[in-house]
């Protein structure tokens, strides 16, 4: 079998076009959705993500109140900025790009963001609501994965999904979203403490690879016809590229595409969906603030 490649770039464009239409409708009522993306320092991957997010904001017709701060910004300065943005009613969403420099306590920063403006869905109030199935901002990457499965018409009910990774941003939330009644997967979560990972992954109908390491999933671990969602973004040196690197995922794409039924490429799979769902959440934050829908 040769897998159908899931075009995350195209699906993300469709989601973003839908958001842009609703933004235009909201603007006609005098409300322009506004997001503040905060970047501290110059981590190259973070700079690239923030650039992509800001470009998407402009294309959706939203206001960009982003702040690019130097590496030596203190925790107090960052908390003061968040406090200011929390109180500013023209700002609907606040996102602090992670990871933060080591001298800043990430948990403290996430907790400082007003849950109503937490479009990343990282604040414990939103995490808690997500866990118990209440309306909340869903974290963008896991939500994007669910949208990809739905838009591709992939059957999920009763299927065995194996998630590799237990991060707060991807592994944990995607495990819970896949187990929701409307998705209805049986979910196994693997992590660095898992002993027989290859045996477990081989049983999967749906594999979500979010280990953060290249080639975590090899073709011998993939059941014929499985759906493979690759969340990895690993930079590896490549002298043929102007940038000096290229991106690869957490799976052995070339070999697995001969066995899987569906597979996401890297780049162009899950990544663009993260940005699309951020636009979706920012629109929702503005609609909530305006009490319209
Ligand atoms: N770093 C990696 N992914 C994300 C994300 O979705 N949001 C934020 N704020 N930082 C990240």
Region 261-281 average pLDDT: 98
Alpha helices in 184-243 (DSSP H): 197-202
Region 24-40 average pLDDT: 97
By DSSP bridging, strand 160-164 and strand 206-209 are parallel
- From the CA of 99, give the closest atom in ligand 1: 1
Examine the residue annotation and report whether 97 is marked as an active-site residue of this protein: yes
- From the CA of 46, give the closest atom in ligand 1: 1
Region 215-224 average pLDDT: 98
Cα four-point dihedral sign 246, 247, 250, 252: negative
CATH 3.40.50.720 placement within the chain: 140-272
CATH topology of domain 30-114: Rossmann fold (3.40.50)
Examine the residue annotation and report whether 53 is marked as an active-site residue of this protein: yes
Task: Give residue 291's pLDDT band: very low, low, confident or very high (50, 70, 90).
Answer: confident
Mean pLDDT of the chain: 98
Task: Give residue 38's pLDDT band: very low, low, confident or very high (50, 70, 90).
Answer: very high
Q: Alpha-carbon distance 35 to 40, whole Å?
A: 16
CA of residue 28 to ligand 1 center, whole Å: 31
pTM over 0.85: yes
Region 86-101 average pLDDT: 98
CATH superfamily of 140-272: NAD(P)-binding Rossmann-like Domain (3.40.50.720)
Q: Whose CA is nearest to atom 8 of ligand 1?
A: 97
Is the pLDDT assigned to residue 293 strictly greater than 90?
Answer: no
Tell me which residues have their CB closer than 6 angstroms to ligand 1.
Answer: 95-98, 120, 140-141, 169, 274
A 10 A CB-CB count for 242 gives 6
């Amino acid at each position: 079998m040769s897998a159908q490649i899931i075009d995350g770039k195209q699906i993300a464009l469709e989601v973003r076009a839908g958001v842009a239409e609703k933004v235009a409708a909201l603007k006609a009522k005098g409300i322009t959705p506004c997001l503040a993306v905060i970047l501290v320092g110059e981590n190259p991957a973070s700079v690239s993500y923030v650039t992509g997010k800001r470009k998407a904001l402009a294309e959706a017709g939203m206001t960009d109140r982003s702040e690019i701060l130097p590496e030596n910004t203190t925790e107090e300065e960052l908390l003061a900025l968040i406090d200011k943005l929390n109180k500013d009613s023209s700002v609907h969403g606040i996102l602090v790009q992670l990871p933060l420099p080591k001298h800043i306590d990430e948990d403290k920063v996430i907790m400082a963001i007003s849950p109503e403006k937490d479009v990343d869905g990282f604040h414990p109030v939103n995490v808690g609501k997500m866990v118990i199935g209440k309306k909340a901002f869903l974290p963008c990457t896991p939500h994007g994965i669910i949208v990809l499965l739905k838009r591709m018409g992939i059957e999920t009910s009763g299927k065995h999904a194996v998630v590799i990774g237990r991060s707060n941003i991807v592994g944990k939330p995607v495990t819970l979203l896949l187990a929701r009644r409307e998705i209805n997967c049986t979910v196994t979560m693997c992590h660095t403490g898992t002993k027989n990972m290859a045996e477990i992954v081989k049983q999967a109908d749906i594999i979500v690879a979010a280990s953060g390491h290249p080639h975590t999933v090899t073709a011998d671990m993939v059941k014929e016809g499985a759906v493979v969602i690759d969340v990895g973004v690993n930079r590896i040196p490549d002298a043929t590229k102007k940038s000096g690197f290229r991106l690869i995922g957490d799976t052995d794409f070339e070999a697995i595409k001969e066995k899987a039924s569906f597979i996401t490429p890297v780049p162009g799979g899950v990544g663009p969906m993260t940005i699309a769902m951020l636009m979706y959440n920012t629109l929702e934050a503005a609609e909530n603030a305006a009490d319209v829908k």
